[in-house]
Structure 1
Amino acid sequence: MSGKSTTPRKRTQQESIRLIASMLKQGATKEQMAKYLNVKVSSLSNWMSPARKLAFPVSQAAENPAPHIITGRSSEPLPHMNTIAINAMWKGLERWRNFA
């Protein structure tokens, strides 16, 4: 017998992230990924965010959409998901939530 150990070397974090990213692209479930990587499902959360960014890159324009610029008054409705309208709705919901 030789004195060498046959234990496999530990994966680096970047290797794990690349493996998870490729599995995300293939549509694998968290349970399948955990079994393949020999870790608990709860441990996957350490690598999921960077793996998603690697698997599904988002363009700069989509990441930071330009705000709608409203100049003057018009009779037209505000654009869908307008920041002013959304903030007003949330403020109203927060104000009246205790009265329901």
Structure 2
Amino acid sequence: MPTEAATDHCQLDVIHTAEHALSRYQLALQCPTQGKAFRYEISVNKKGPAGSSRTSQSGKGVMDATTQTLGNIKVNTSPQDNVEVTGMIRDSDNQIIAEISKVFPPQ
């Protein structure tokens, strides 16, 4: 299970923060390229005793040399939930330049 993916010198990671039963998931994109347009997709799949849910978000941006935080998905979680987060970055030609899949197992 990869925790970080890099393609075309771009790095993509998942940011996870939790406060009580609310978990927040975002993507962290770092590319050395500046001024290049991109589209991101983030998806959160949660499975647990109470059932399952899937939440997705997408958007557009322009690369800069800093780490960019993309997306903002919040879901209620319990210690028994298994959460998988996937993310993908595509350039203006619809080519995948970075992707990631990260699992947050029950705690």
TM class by shorter chain equals under 0.3
- Rg larger in structure: 1
State the TM-score, normalized to the length of structure 1: 0.21
State the TM-score, normalized to the length of structure 2: 0.20
With a CA cutoff of 8 Å and minimum separation of 6, indicate the structure with the bigger relative contact order.
2
Q: Relative to total residues, which structure has the larger strand share, 1 or 2?
A: 2
